[in-house]
Each structure stands twice: as C-alpha cells, then as structure tokens.
Amino acid sequence: MDIAAIIAKAENTHKLAKQEIVALLADDAHTQEIFAAADRVRRRYVGDEVHLRGLIEFSNTCRQNCHYCGLRRDNTNVVRYRMEPDAIIDLARKAKEYGYRTVVLQSGEDPYYTVDILRHIISEIKKLGVAVTLSIGEKSRDEYAAYRQAGADRYLLRIETTDRLLYEDLDPGMSFENRLRCLRDLRSLGYELGTGCLIGLPGQTLESLADDILFFQEIDADMIGVGPFIPNPDTPLAAAAGGAFTSSLKVMAIIRLLLPDINIPATTAMETLDKNGRMIALQSGANVVMPNVTEGDYRRHYALYPGKICVGDTPAQCRSCITGKITAIGRGISTGHGFRLRKTAQENGE
C-alpha cells in the first residue's frame, strides 16, 4: 500500500478502512509523517491550548481481578487505602486553587463508595465551579444516572481491547457485553464519554488494534486515552513483554487523524517509557494532560504499573513542572473547562 497516500487520506477525510489502519500500524518508515499529520489536525481542530485535568486517585481497592492491573483484587502486595469523602472534596478544593478547571475522580471498583456517598462528593465538588470526570468502573445504569444527576460531566471507561476473547481472558469474571452496555448507558445519559485501550497486551494483534480505533470512531467517543501496557511484577502478566512507546504514540496519532475534534490525553504511562513522553505526545496529536493532585503516600500506593512517574512530587510541584514543559514547546494552558467542541471539516476550511 501507498503509506503516504493513506496518511494524506486520513488527514483530509478522517476516514480509513481497517486494512489501511493496519498498514499504518505495520509501517516503520513513515512514523514521523504520521505524527506530523496528527499534530496538524490537532492544531486545526482543537488549537494549541492544552487542557489540564487534576487527577484524584481516591481508592486503590478493587473488586475486579484484571490480569494486567496492579490494583487487582488478588494482589496482596498492595497497601490498600480509601479516602474519606471530606478528604476527597478537600483535594478537589486544592485542585481548583492550583488552577484546574476539571477534577478527575479515579479509583478501583470499590463498593465502599455507595451511590449516596458519591452523590454527596460530586455535588460538593460541583459547587467549586469545576467540571467533574468520573473513572470508577462498571456500574448499573441507575447508578450512572444518579452520578449524572448529582453533576458529573464526564466518564472514563476504557474498553482496553475490543477483541472479545482477549478481553474476557485478561479480565476474568467480567463480561465484554456488559462493558459495551456501560458505554452505551453513559452515552445515552448525556455524559461526555471517554474510553481507550492498552497497547502491547499479550495476544493483541495489529488487526485488533485497528478494530479498537474503528470502534472509538463508531461510538463517537469524546475522549480517548491510550498508553503502553507496562507489566506489573505482582500480576499474572509479570513476564509479558509489554507495549512500546512508539507503537502507543502511533495508535494515538491515528486516533487524532480519524477523530479530529476529540480530547486526547498525553498519558502518564507514556512518560514512564520515555522521559519526554507526554511532550512528544502533545506534539503528535494529544491536547490534554492529567497531573496528579493526590497527596502523600497515596500516590505511591496507587500502583497500576511499576515506574510510575511523579510519585514523590507534591501537587504544586506537578502543576509547576507540567506548566513549564508545556510552555517550553510553545503551547499554552487552557483556562476553560475543556469540553469537546465538535467541528466539521468545513468549519476548518477543509
């Protein structure tokens, strides 16, 4: 296949067939061209401002047992914690003071936090005038509706892989169909919908990654987060090879080409593999960064994977550091809430 022609088609039409995506993923000679095209599309559709989201990791307790995750239920080497509601609300208040316009509440699937507790936390944080994103796993439609009614704006639920057999092999006791149901419910309830996948899972193929990308386009997700699979020594996949930085960056760039106006984070996992990973991602299609505003030992204990960056930093240090890095590459920090602004090709002069 003519790789240059496929890149041009993706940049100008934002549509590719599955085999064209596979061809881009398989090609090693045109990676910089793919990244440059994604950066041009990013600039044209979402501009040069970077949206910062303040991440609060409020519990590392999880009822699920996913083979790739350090927080899995059967990992006895993790020091478990859960924050009390007032502590979570206080961190959100500090995040607002640091200048964040969105707070991301992330945890394992922890049954301690009932609907009433979460509704209280969400409604109190909304009083601060910030957008609220939830990343707390699979819930019932009624639960999602309750969080939305309390004021939650966005929800992140990564599909991880659209390969049904691989999903159910790596996520024992979980149902691929239920994951899809959750995403449908979130969309129908009016959330901004975030999802994503891991790159480099054992048994994953380029074809399944292409299916992932087309799935994101099919459901018209508002935010896509992708990153390399980094094996955790306390999981069944401890000896797996893991994902590569460049492969993850390429998947991210192709997603930008095909979903030009969505929000795409430069994920922390990328910087675990490359010390400049997030800045490289911002120059290859990304427009969001989610600095951690969790304090103290909680950062270290939220051990999804080894080598996680910034676990010894304070929230203030993270805010200062990321701001400096972003301005150093000629980009600015957004002062808005960072909702997706849908744009057509015609609106961008295409």
Query: What tens digit of pLDDT does each residue of 90-147 get?
Result: 999 999 999 999 999 999 999 999 999 999 999 999 999 999 999 999 999 999 999 9
Q: What length does the chain have?
A: 350
Helix H or strand E encompassing 59: strand 54-59
Q: CA-to-CA distance for 138 and 330, rounded, in angstroms?
A: 39
- CATH number for the segment(s) 3-329: 3.20.20.70
* Number of other CB atoms surrounding residue 343 within 10 Å: 14
Give the residue extent of every domain in the chain: 3-329
pLDDT class of 158 with cuts at 50, 70, 90: very high
pLDDT at 350 over 60: no
Q: Which two tokens stand for residue 193?
A: 């919908």
Positive or negative, the Cα torsion across 41, 276, 160, 130? Answer: negative
Q: Per-residue pLDDT for 347 more than 80?
A: no
Q: pLDDT tens digits for 30-69? A: 999 999 999 999 999 999 999 999 999 999 999 999 999 9
> Given this model, what pLDDT does residue 345 score?
55
pLDDT tens readout for residues 301-333: 998 999 888 888 899 999 999 999 999 999 999
What average pLDDT does this structure show over 249-253?
A: 98
- The mean pLDDT value for 249-261 works out to 98
pTM: 0.96
Query: pLDDT value at position 311?
Result: 87
pLDDT at 312: 87
State the residue for tokens 């439609």: 141
What backbone phi and psi angles, to 5 degrees, belong to 301?
-80, -15
Three-class SS state of 330: coil
Orientation angle between helical segments 141-150 and 176-188, nearest 10 degrees = 30
pLDDT for position 177: 98
